[in-house]
């Protein structure tokens, strides 16, 4: 049985489209009654995850995001087409440090040409 996320978004793998993804993320978090601070943390985390996957993205490829929504939390997975043989983001980078400070359950994986970064953000009022 294949898992189907609550929301999926596919955009060109270009930095200019990260703002669209951040705005979508904020809208989803607002629907779950996240606080303004939680929404800003989530937006920042999505931006950092995008930067990590876009670092080695193929020109003309896709940037993908999936969202699993539940009461008080959002699981986000961001990927980009990347034919490189890298094994994932540099875990000593500033972007990785920001991402892991703002989120929980951070994972990376490669599925064929896709490099995925996923994480969970929980609302501070649901904690």
pLDDT at 55 over 60: yes
Q: Which of 76, 55, 62 is nearest to 114 (CA)?
A: 62
Q: Within 13 A of 48's CA, how many CA atoms are on the CB side?
A: 23
pLDDT at 8 over 90: yes
10 band by pLDDT with thresholds 50, 70 and 90: very high
- Structural domains in the chain? 7-122 (3.30.565.10)
Q: What is the arithmetic mean of pLDDT over 5-16?
A: 93
Residues 76-87: pLDDT tens digits? 999 998 866 666
pTM of the predicted protein model: 0.89
Predicted pLDDT at 127: 56
Cβ(64)–Cβ(126) under 8 Å? no
């Amino acid at each position: 049985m294949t898992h189907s996320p609550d929301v999926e978004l596919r955009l060109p793998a270009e930095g200019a489209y990260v703002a669209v993804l951040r705005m979508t993320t904020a809208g989803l978090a607002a629907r779950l009654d996240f606080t303004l601070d939680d929404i800003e943390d989530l937006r920042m985390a999505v931006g950092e995850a995008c930067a990590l996957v876009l670092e080695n993205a193929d020109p003309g490829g896709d940037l993908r995001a999936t969202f699993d929504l539940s009461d008080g939390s959002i699981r986000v997975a961001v990927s980009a087409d990347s034919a490189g043989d890298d094994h994932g983001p540099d875990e000593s980078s500033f972007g990785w440090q920001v991402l892991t400070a703002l989120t929980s359950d951070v994972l990376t994986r490669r599925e064929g040409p896709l490099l995925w970064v996923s994480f969970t953000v929980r609302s501070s009022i649901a904690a």
